[in-house]
Amino acid sequence: MDILFGLLRLIAAIAIAFTAGRLISKLRLPDILGWLIAGMIMGPHALKLLSQPIIDSGWFSSVESLFECVFGLMIGTEMVFGKMKKSGPQILVTTLTESLGTFIVVSAVFAAVFYFSGVPVYLAFVLGSIALATAPAPSLSVVNSFRTEGPVTRTLIPMAALDDMVGGIVFFLVIVMVAAGTFNGGVPIGLVLLVVLLPLVLGAVMGALSGLIMRKMTDRRKVSAIMLMMLVLAWGAGALVNSALPAPVINFMLIGLSYSAVFANIISRKQLDELNDVMHPVIGFAMIVVILNLAVPLDYHLIFGAGTYTAVYIISRAIGKYGGAYFGSAVTHAPETVKKYLGFTLLPHSGVSLVFTGIAVSVLGATAPECAGIVQGTIAAAAVINEIIAVFMAKKGFEWAGELGRAGRASDK
């Protein structure tokens, strides 16, 4: 009965968020702003339609992780080798410069701030490793809502996958070193490989099987059914592994991403286009669920209590993201619009950052509770403030690049 009641609340929350998104779109703003605001209002810090017990329940985590897999389809189906082979090196280099550039800038700025504030300097690297992660859902929801198309869009979509992988590797390497330096034991180095590689392997295996089966079919409905069935199996395997870990750290978006990236390179272009047509509304629905999951834990009261550390974090991270993207685009001779505007689409942050923050706080809590408090307070407040600003700036980035509403038109030369 509790599960049924919770599901009804979730359905009501999705309907309210959808309506809020439609209303705010009338102002030529991204739907996601409506979803974010509605999520915060319906979360445990306001109206409690989605209360903390619901958010913490196993069924809610299962539903949300399944939709993360579905959301990953949007990225993976764009990673067709034939489309990426020309821009692949440019995307890889730019991902590394914007990710590692953000880590360096945020770490350096906080190292100076903490040195003069008497806070352990190693904490600067923890904040830097959290800062480099980009939450792809907000920017990609703008792509979906405004039907963007062009060099910035084509660069951003595959970068969303690579950015998560780089972020996971850097964060867990930093946490391993911090844990080893603060108390005996620490986080096993194998966790880095587990978190980053296992979701990719699970998705790729299922994607290969799915692609080989679908390639032999001609019926559109059967192709869609096989694709969804195998995706659910991949999600189930990830959920099983996640339940066996001390902390649930498997990235389900990476499972959906690698699953769809593999089958997209096996089936025909016609089959892929038909699947995309069928899955477009499903992915749109999945986006709402994923964004709600990002928004409901956010406490809007933190906006009023944000301090110096939060301001420094938001500003230094924005400089690192924009500067790193600009530098990478310049050295790889990317189109001018990519060089100027890609950085704005990389500012959304909350989803992955909140997961990383929870892990960092659990590692630091036992031996350095004051440091854990600084990390938690800084990132939580930044997540609320940055997400609203970042979604608006992501939309402006696509607008300034001239890519709004261009999906379906002739591709750029």
Q: Enter the pTM of the model.
A: 0.70
Residue 52 belongs to a domain: no
Q: What does pLDDT average to in each consecutive run of 10 residues of the chain (413 residues)? A: 83 92 79 82 88 86 88 76 65 90 95 91 92 78 83 84 77 76 50 68 92 88 90 92 73 85 88 86 85 77 72 93 94 92 86 70 73 80 78 88 74 46
Pairwise CA distance, residues 252 & 206, whole Å: 14
pLDDT of 204 reads 92
Residue 39 belongs to a domain: no
Task: Say whether 55 sits in a helix, a strand or coil.
Answer: helix
pLDDT of 412 reads 46
pLDDT of 411 reads 46
Residue 168 belongs to a domain: yes
How big is the CA angle at 201 (ends 237 and 287), to the nearest 5 degrees?
A: 65
pLDDT of 375 reads 84
Supply the Cα-derived Rg of the chain in whole angstroms: 21
Residue 189 belongs to a domain: yes
Pairwise CA distance, residues 313 & 127, whole Å: 8
Residue 35 belongs to a domain: no
Pairwise CA distance, residues 148 & 334, whole Å: 18
Residue 405 belongs to a domain: no
> Any idea what the CATH number is for the domain that residue 375 is in?
1.20.1530.20
Residue 265 belongs to a domain: yes
Q: What is the DSSP string of 233-250?
A: HHHHHHHHHHHHSSS---
pLDDT of 409 reads 55
pLDDT of 187 reads 47
Residue 83 belongs to a domain: yes
- Contact indicator for 73, 65 with CB cutoff of 8 Å: no
pLDDT of 125 reads 93
pLDDT of 317 reads 94
Q: How many domains would you assign to the chain?
A: 1
Parent domain of 233: 68-400
pLDDT of 241 reads 84
